[in-house]
Amino acid sequence: MKYNLLTTICLMLFAGICSAQDHEMTEADENWMAYMATGPMHEMMASWDGSWKEEVKVWMEPGAEPMINESYCVNNMIMGGRYQESNHTGDFNGMPFEGRSILGYDNAMKKFVSTWVDNMGSGIMYLEGTWNEELQTIEFAGSSIDPATGKKMNVKETFRIVDERTQVMEMFMVQDDEDVKTMEITFTRE
């Protein structure tokens, strides 16, 4: 781990001084520069910056009527346009709700990566996803801890771009090899 951190720091310093010295770029140097670059996926995320109203539907068990709450989020690109931070506020059945996510596109993995935390728990959900151009959807998969059992549970999520003003996120927990829908959020740009 120390070697990787030291290598990373050295390469970052090298990138900063490379233009000041007569140095021929190696393949590793070029790969690091490509890893640091922003591209079309980052530009797409940046188009989602701004304020959004959220209609949040939560199913506590399959077949039950969903609980419906309203919240808001503000998206903002950070760290030179490499990541999007989303801050969510509202209430969940009369309790104050606060959540935060970081979304990025990892150039090396060629995948979206997402983390989620909120004040309704103490864990961090991590998802990786691929872009489906035809469906205008990021298809995520990952895991979280089921607080009822303390065991890891698999999670699937779809994030669909309906149009410039509307997005829909659907979340599924994987139980007995079946996808069980637990949440749907419709985002409307303000």
Q: Is 20 exposed, middle or buried (0-12, 13-18, 19+ CB in 10 A)?
A: exposed
Strands 83-92 and 125-132 come out as unpaired
Q: Which residues pair with 107 in a beta bridge?
A: none
- Provide the residue-wise pLDDT of the chain in tens; the chain has 190 residues: 444 555 555 556 555 555 545 568 898 889 899 999 999 999 999 999 999 999 999 998 888 999 999 999 999 999 999 999 999 999 988 899 999 999 999 999 999 999 999 999 999 999 999 999 999 999 999 999 888 888 999 999 999 999 999 999 999 998 888 899 999 999 999 9
Domains along the chain? Answer: 2-36 (no CATH), 41-189 (2.40.128.20)
Amino acid at 39: G
